[in-house]
Amino acid sequence: MAINTYGVIGAGQMGNGIAQVAATAGLNVIMSDIKIEFAEKGLANITKLLSKGVDKGKITAEDKEAILGRIKITADLKDMADADFVVEAATENETLKFKIFQDIDEICKPDIILASNTSSIPIGRIAAQTKRPEKVIGMHFMNPVPVMKLVEVIRGIATSDETFQTTWDLSLKFGKTPALSHDYPGFIANRILLPMINEAVFALYHGVGTREDIDTVMKLGMNHPMGPLTLADLIGLDTCLAIMETLYEGFKDSKYRPCPLLRKYVEAGWLGRKTGRGFYEY
**Would you tell me how many other CB atoms lie within 10 Å of the CB of residue 52?**
11
DSSP 200-218: HHHHHHTTSS-HHHHHHII
Catalytic residue list contains 171: no
Q: Of 45, 116, 140, 181, which residue is the catalytic one?
A: 140
Q: Of 16, 45, 117, 119, which residue is the catalytic one?
A: 119
Do the Cβ atoms of 146 and 117 come closer than 8 Å? no
**216-244: burial string, b at 16+ Cβ within 10 Å, e else:** ebbeeeeeeeebbbbbbbebbbbbbbbbb
**59-68: burial string, b at 16+ Cβ within 10 Å, e else:** beeeebeebe
Catalytic residue list contains 152: yes
Do the Cβ atoms of 217 and 189 come closer than 8 Å? no
Catalytic residue list contains 182: no
Q: Of 16, 190, 198, 245, which residue is the catalytic one?
A: 190
- Distance, in Å, from the CA atom of 109 to the CA atom of 80, rounded to the nearest integer, reads 9
Q: Of 152, 171, 181, 198, which residue is the catalytic one?
A: 152
- Distance, in Å, from the CA atom of 118 to the CA atom of 180, rounded to the nearest integer, reads 15
Do the Cβ atoms of 108 and 130 come closer than 8 Å? no
> Residues with catalytic annotation?
119, 140, 152, 190
